[in-house]
Chain A
Amino acid sequence: MSVKVMIPTPLRVYAGKRDFAEFSAATVGEALGGLTTQYAELRKHLYTEDGNLRAFVNVYLNDEDIRYLAKENTPTKDGDTISIIPSIAGGASQNAI
């Protein structure tokens, strides 16, 4: 099952600047596992130390939030798209660097 994982802008710096990656996976969890194995620095941004998805990171399978499906056990099929949506807050100004 080839699934596409979209990588949001704030996390691309930890994923070799890529905006998406493709993996063979049967569940959402497997696809994310593939992603964090290939890009180890992403792991701490997506998961807590106990291995749970961080609460401010939302994961969608196609257009549905996985919290309302089977979470990381949600099965995937060929051509599915997984989106990672972290919270962003920019509006009036940008944070200083």
Chain B
Amino acid sequence: MATTTQPQTVAKSSTSLSNEEILRYSRHLIMPEVGMEGQLKLKNAKVLLIGTGGLGAPLGLYLAAAGVGRLGLVDFDVVDFTNLQRQVTFGSDDVGKPKTEAARARLSNLNPDIQVDTFETKLSSENALALFKDFDVIVDGTDNFPTRYLVNDACILLGKPNVYGSIFRFEGQATVFGMPEGPCYRCLYPEPPPPGLVPSCAEGGVLGVLPGIVGSIQAMETIKLILGRGENLVGRLLLFDALAMKFRELKLRKNPNCPMCGEHRTINKLIDYYEFCGVRGEEAPGPDVQVPEITPRDLKSRLDRGDDLFILDVREPHEFQICNLNGHLIPLGELPRRVHELDSSREIVAHCRSGKRSAEAVDFLRKAGFRKILNLKGGVLAWSDEVDPSVPKY
């Protein structure tokens, strides 16, 4: 587990701006809501970004542009080709580099006057408190439930505001947790969803620009907190529906019985968040369904031999358009209603993109009495790797 940190300079509080800084931030300084006083607050602020991905991209860019004096970036991931659809801090040349390194280069180029510290590490109960304590504001741009609870709890224990944003396909949420009079994440969601119950398989994907919008809202809230201006999202859950282009707002109340931030705290230290969320190991949550499988090579051999196999494709219609194995398409969500389209006397091979959804389909059909049914291990992705590279991966 790599941990790269920049040498920690003990920052003196700045009391002035150079002529160059005054020119750089002139558009801030000419507004009474910011002025010299506000810009100095930004210069002296220390903000930690948890995650430098879809949300972290606009966050890092706008906070650097605004002159936040010290930015910390926490991410253990490397830049992947598929990230470029939305993680706009990175360029094509960055594929394969650690995200913190690529982000630091971009942000330092945008604003060489700020200090960018990188933490190429996985945030955990062991390191969170030490990492957070030197920063004023924590911004949560992570992508999994255990880390959401971890960030929340660490912020409450340390008394730091937590600027929260999250996205799913074309919807987003934003709010500010962790203020003394406001709620925390556990007030909103006392319990995490058990893995496998929040559908993520057939509903994956995201409009690239969506985290751009939600991350920018988080950057705005962070700057307002630092400046002490405007009305912030404490106690307000901002909901954004990108397709309808509608913003809505719900009231978030502080739960007086919240075990973390309520009147009688019962949680006084960080816990095992993976256990709390019912997730084992480091893989994305999802029950490991054990079903009989067939590898792509074996399937190809059997098809070439002329075996009478029924190929069941449980993906969505728009995926079928990308590529298909000439299967009979019944999206997973429709399977219970359309099971009569299947003949249990025939041997069926079910597939999806990666093998996860089709494993659920096979499990469901076996419980429904189907005996001759196999899951294509690794799905279309493995078929492309092992049998037919002309089939596009997505």
> Chain A interface (Cβ within 8 Å of chain B)?
8-11, 13-14, 19, 41, 44-45, 54-56, 58, 60, 63-65, 68, 83, 85-97
Contact = CB atoms under 8 A, between A and B. Distances in A.
Contact of A96 (B142, B145, B354): B354
Given A90-B206, A91-B54, A96-B284, 13 more contacts: A54-B193, A55-B190, A55-B191, A63-B249, A65-B252, A87-B193, A87-B198, A90-B167, A91-B140, A92-B51, A92-B52, A92-B55, A92-B75
Contact of A9 (B190, B203, B250): B203
B166 A88 contact: yes
A92 B166 contact: no
A85 B237 contact: yes
Given A13-B202, A55-B190, A94-B143, A60 B167 contact: no
B377 interface: no
A84 B167 CA distance: 16
Interface in B16-64: 51-56
A13 B333 contact: yes
B56 A92 contact: yes
Contacts of A96: 204, 284, 354, 356
A95 B353 CA distance: 13
B140 A97 contact: no
A41 B336 contact: yes
By DSSP majority rule, is chain A's interface helix, strand, loop, or mixed?
loop
Considering the complex of A and B, which 4 residue pairs feature the smallest CB-CB distances, nearest first? A92-B53, A55-B191, A97-B204, A92-B51
A44 to B, nearest CB: 8
Nearest to B283: A96
Contact of B205 (A11, A56, A94): A94
B333 A95 contact: no
Nearest to B169: A9
Contact of A87 (B170, B189, B251, B253): B189
B32 to A, nearest CB: 32
Contacts of B54: 90-93
B interface residue count range (under 10 / 10 to 19 / 20 to 34 / 35 or more): 35 or more
Contact of A89 (B166, B171, B199, B333): B166
A90 B191 CA distance: 17
Interface in B123-155: 140-145, 148
Given A56-B192, A87-B189, A92-B143, A97 B354 contact: yes
B199 A91 contact: no
Nearest to B206: A94
A65 B254 CA distance: 11
B203 A91 contact: no
B210 to A, nearest CB: 9
A7 to B, nearest CB: 11
A9 B166 contact: no
Contacts of A87: 145, 148, 188-189, 192-193, 198
B333 A97 contact: no
B299 to A, nearest CB: 20
Given A60-B250, A89-B145, A92-B53, A13 B203 contact: yes
B192 A93 contact: no
A13 to B, nearest CB: 4
Interface in B145-189: 145, 148, 165-171, 173, 188-189
30 contacts: A9-B170, A10-B203, A13-B199, A14-B199, A56-B189, A56-B191, A56-B193, A63-B250, A63-B251, A64-B251, A85-B237, A85-B239, A87-B189, A88-B167, A89-B143, A91-B56, A91-B165, A92-B53, A92-B55, A92-B143, A93-B54, A93-B143, A94-B204, A94-B206, A95-B143, A96-B284, A96-B356, A97-B201, A97-B205, A97-B356
Nearest to B164: A91
Contacts of A54: 193
Given A9-B203, A65-B251, A97-B356, A91 B51 contact: yes
A78 to B, nearest CB: 19
